Structure 1
Amino acid sequence: MKAPQIVVLGAGPAGAAVARALAILGYAVTVVSDRRRFDAVEGLSLRVLEGLRRAGLFRASACAEGPCARTTLWNGVTQTVNAEFLVDRHAFDAALRADLHEAGVEVVEATVRSVQSTPHTHDLMIETADGPLSLNADFLVEARGRLAPLMRDATRGPQTLSLLNVWQGAPGAAASAVESLQDGWAWMARLPDGRCYWQMTLDVASAELPQRDELLAFCARMRHSPLASAFFAGEAGAQARLYARSSTATLCGRTGARNWLRVGDAAMAVDPLSGNGIFQSLSSALQAPAVIHTLISRPERAELALRFHQQRIEHLFLRFARTGRDFYALEQRFGASPFWQARSRWPDDVPTHQVPDFGQLTIARAPVIDGDVIGEADVVVSPDQPLGVWHLQGVPLAPIVEKLKCESAEETLRSLDADTARMIRKWLAAQGYPHALV
């Protein structure tokens, strides 16, 4: 039987992670990706680097500069900590491609012109440097980030625009900073070679933006803020280049079917606040290979696999949206500004984290990752983990919670070795179990 042909559109962190994992599972994978058309730098947290390594993207993780000093001026309080790694996106993207080549994944540099899909196949027309080319795929992975065509059922947050300025300054230590302003917030960074980046995020509906040919002058005025002036040491950035892009939080209402799947920013794109973009991309991508493998090799589990993917995409989206909401709400100086009002109240007023209450734990049957495929198991559901937790380092939790309804923790955990019992007790204490540490 002919092996399914899988095409991944996009070679960013999400697309690369999925493509590499599918290749390891034995699939023939082709990645189609266009080159980034503008200079950019991004901030990464340590957990992003760990996620890249977990996905086998070691060359990409090695591109990170840092940890670098990160200064924040938020709600009038200035703090500086070593908390951020910086990556030049051109170098980072090249490293992702090198990771894919090393894994035996074919990468085609091209622009996607059209995709014609049926329930059984996908016909693609792409434009390479040598001219047009047609491709056929049995399974398609949409990983082109925010550039991916959106479906009509997408949920969107407050309409947001980011204006990026890039210029060459003097060489110096790598660093980054975040500053809250009346009509938005700015993120800025310097690389050791002197490249400077300043990006302001604004509300499209309320910001008084000038015409496009006046945007650079507008940005230059905004860069005279207290933190930016100090951060760039008075460098004017007179030769700055401008790039405008949407940064509206977006969630696709349908993230997959039997022969296609959306991952990363193509499935859900969050507000760029706090550098969560690549982290959430990887979070959704690391689960996708098991979903795709199930759709192809266990078609009778298709509904289960798609429900698993959709639920987790929606859960991640809400979690990141609420985290951003809480961070916006910390800024109290600009409460009357439409920008801050809208974002400190969206997406809802549900607390980001619930108070642990062992009495609220329930047992439910739910889809889970079982090896390389999606299976079904009894999971422990809590207000803070609505999708449920199956096991802790291989120890199923549902039977333990069931037993604790009629016997003590000591009796329930008696058959476990001391280290495992200690781990389970710690988890029970985090769930609000009153006698977990006895």
Structure 2
Amino acid sequence: MMNKQIVVLGAGPAGAAVALGLKRLGYEVCVVSEWRRFAALEGVSQRVLEGLRQAGLHQALASACAASPRQVRWNGEAHAPNVEHLLDRPAFDAAIRQDLLAAGVELIEARVRELSSTAEGHCLQLDSASGPQTCHADFLVEARGRQAPLSGKGLRGQETLSLLNHWQEQPGPARSAVESLADGWAWMARLGDGRCFWQLTLDVASTDLPEKSQLAEFCAAQRAQSTLVRELFGAPALQPSALHARSSTATLCLQTSGDNWLRVGDAAMAVDPLSGNGIFQSLSSSLQAPAVINTLLQKPERAALARHFHQQRVEQLFLRFARIGRDFYAMEQQWVARPFWQSRRNWPDDLPLHAPADYASLRVARAPVINGELIDEADVVITADQPLGIWHLQGIELAPIVRALHSAPLTEVLAPLAAEQQRLVYGWLRAQGYRQA
């Protein structure tokens, strides 16, 4: 039996970011992962690349293609709003493994056949190329994405299915596009080497899908009706092609931690693919995880605080992305009565993505924060748009300033700060609705 201090299940961006962060804190980390079993392509924004850099995933970052143009056809209108970087997922996954190995993180290529957990630790039965293995972990990080087993309560959006197709054409310029359809939407892209991808996202309950053996023909028929497909691709796009079906239902785990385990990335919360980039949200929930785990292991008296911090931020992130998706769906007015669009334009709630600034509502409260390598508690400022609170503004604590403004004029409150800090804080106050009398 192998004895490990911390085992991370999953070598995607989320698992890798946690493993590298823990390694920097001095922990011995082992990552257990299978290779991806299907070809896939993703389009990511510049902020994802910044997240990869922040996580220390430099070789994964280098695997991203240069920015290429992206077309959007939504609500009967055509736009070319921005660019995106295309990620060949098999190459990206291989680069992540290179980053892990370069950092000295142990990597086991294996499938988890069985997992049993107690307060004393976790026992994993693994199937690897060299045969069955048993591994014991003191702490476990669940980062296997949407496929991670979920026990306990969770929140699910409308059941959603994505059908990913890929085929080969002649080399040409890299491009991508997205378009709305009567019963769903499609994302499509081609790489410079001629590999082409098209993904159709549908509602499980209302779509009359054929048998599994006929899905490739069904998708080819859908592509044949799209003028955008004909613009981006050649004749092979109109033929049945290799296909992989996967769930893309939005899910939120309502218990993302215990005293000796933590869920991150899509295993904690997975968003509708229209809501924002999945890699970005995976990194967002994972970059905080090393501090949470370090607190659970080194400061058990703060365990409840650390777990509350992680759960709060996972839930807030989920709602943010879910509302982004809701607002995109609501923009599509051509098929408002169709089940796909009708069920998604009002979920998860009717609250605005961004609450309007309201200086009168600002208040100071105690809340968990990341303080160096640990989760701590501090006075933060709760705002309409930041319900979890803001502690610092580029190193300047905001709670003392907001408190002082109740009894002193702005010039007096800001006087101890340097001129540039004064401008920074004043700009923040103005953004919150503050106006001098």
TM-score, normalised via structure 2 length: 0.98
Give the residue type in structure 2 aligned to 1:183: D
Give the residue type in structure 2 aligned to 1:131: G
Give the residue type in structure 1 aligned to 2:95: A
SS at match of 1:39: coil
The equivalent residue for 1:95 is 95
Does 2:121 match 1:121?
yes
SS at match of 1:388: coil
Name the CA distance, whole Å, in 2 between partners of 1:218 and 1:237.
11
The answer as to whether partners of 1:5 and 1:29 remain within 8 angstroms in 2 is yes
Does 2:348 match 1:347?
yes
The answer as to whether partners of 2:34 and 2:110 remain within 8 angstroms in 1 is yes
The equivalent residue for 1:280 is 281
Name the CA distance, whole Å, in 1 between partners of 2:336 and 2:152.
32
* Deviation readout 1:111-135 (Å, 9 max, x if unpaired): 1101110012100011110111110
- Cα deviation for residue 274 of structure 1 reads 5.3
Name the CA distance, whole Å, in 2 between partners of 1:63 and 1:420.
39
Superposition pairs of residues 174-189 of structure 1, within 5 angstroms: 174-189=174-189
Name the CA distance, whole Å, in 1 between partners of 2:238 and 2:223.
9
* Deviation readout 1:188-230 (Å, 9 max, x if unpaired): 0101110000000000000111111111111001112121221
Give the residue type in structure 1 aligned to 2:125: M
The equivalent residue for 2:321 is 320
The equivalent residue for 1:203 is 203
Name the CA distance, whole Å, in 1 between partners of 2:280 and 2:326.
17
Superposition pairs of residues 353-432 of structure 1, within 5 angstroms: 353-432=354-433
The equivalent residue for 2:332 is 331
- Cα deviation for residue 237 of structure 1 reads 5.1
SS at match of 2:355: coil
Gaps of at least 5 residues in structure 2 are none
Name the CA distance, whole Å, in 1 between partners of 2:156 and 2:28.
35
Does 2:240 match 1:235?
no
TM-score, normalised via structure 1 length: 0.97
Superposition pairs of residues 11-410 of structure 1, within 5 angstroms: 11-224=11-224, 225-236=226-237, 238=239, 240-273=241-274, 275-410=276-411
- Cα deviation for residue 94 of structure 1 reads 0.5
The answer as to whether partners of 2:154 and 2:252 remain within 8 angstroms in 1 is yes
- Cα deviation for residue 81 of structure 1 reads 3.8
Cα 1:4–1:126, aligned 2, differ >3 Å: closer, same or farther? closer
- Cα deviation for residue 69 of structure 1 reads 0.4
Name the CA distance, whole Å, in 2 between partners of 1:81 and 1:167.
27
> Please, which moves more after superposition, 207-216 or 226-235?
226-235
Name the CA distance, whole Å, in 2 between partners of 1:201 and 1:32.
30
Q: CA RMSD for the aligned pairs?
A: 1.2
The answer as to whether partners of 2:275 and 2:321 remain within 8 angstroms in 1 is no
The answer as to whether partners of 2:219 and 2:240 remain within 8 angstroms in 1 is no
Give the residue type in structure 2 aligned to 1:196: C
- Cα deviation for residue 393 of structure 1 reads 1.1
- Cα deviation for residue 66 of structure 1 reads 2.0
Name the CA distance, whole Å, in 2 between partners of 1:338 and 1:348.
17
- Cα deviation for residue 233 of structure 1 reads 3.6
Name the CA distance, whole Å, in 1 between partners of 2:131 and 2:289.
32
SS at match of 1:138: strand
SS at match of 1:133: strand
Name the CA distance, whole Å, in 1 between partners of 2:407 and 2:4.
50
Name the CA distance, whole Å, in 2 between partners of 1:174 and 1:82.
14
- Cα deviation for residue 152 of structure 1 reads 3.4
Name the CA distance, whole Å, in 1 between partners of 2:261 and 2:211.
40
Name the CA distance, whole Å, in 1 between partners of 2:88 and 2:403.
50
Name the CA distance, whole Å, in 1 between partners of 2:234 and 2:422.
55
The equivalent residue for 2:10 is 10
The answer as to whether partners of 1:13 and 1:278 remain within 8 angstroms in 2 is yes
The answer as to whether partners of 1:11 and 1:31 remain within 8 angstroms in 2 is yes
Name the CA distance, whole Å, in 1 between partners of 2:75 and 2:236.
25
- Cα deviation for residue 80 of structure 1 reads 1.6
Gaps of at least 5 residues in structure 1 are none
- Cα deviation for residue 415 of structure 1 reads 0.8
> Please, which moves more after superposition, 243-252 or 266-275?
266-275
- Cα deviation for residue 234 of structure 1 reads 3.9
Give the residue type in structure 1 aligned to 2:369: V
The answer as to whether partners of 1:67 and 1:82 remain within 8 angstroms in 2 is no
Name the CA distance, whole Å, in 2 between partners of 1:111 and 1:212.
26
Name the CA distance, whole Å, in 2 between partners of 1:175 and 1:11.
28
Cα 1:139–1:88, aligned 2, differ >3 Å: closer, same or farther? same
Give the residue type in structure 2 aligned to 1:83: V
Name the CA distance, whole Å, in 2 between partners of 1:153 and 1:84.
35
The answer as to whether partners of 2:276 and 2:325 remain within 8 angstroms in 1 is no
- Cα deviation for residue 404 of structure 1 reads 1.1
Give the residue type in structure 2 aligned to 1:291: V
The answer as to whether partners of 1:125 and 1:134 remain within 8 angstroms in 2 is yes
Give the residue type in structure 1 aligned to 2:293: I
The answer as to whether partners of 1:43 and 1:275 remain within 8 angstroms in 2 is no
> Please, which moves more after superposition, 124-133 or 146-155?
146-155
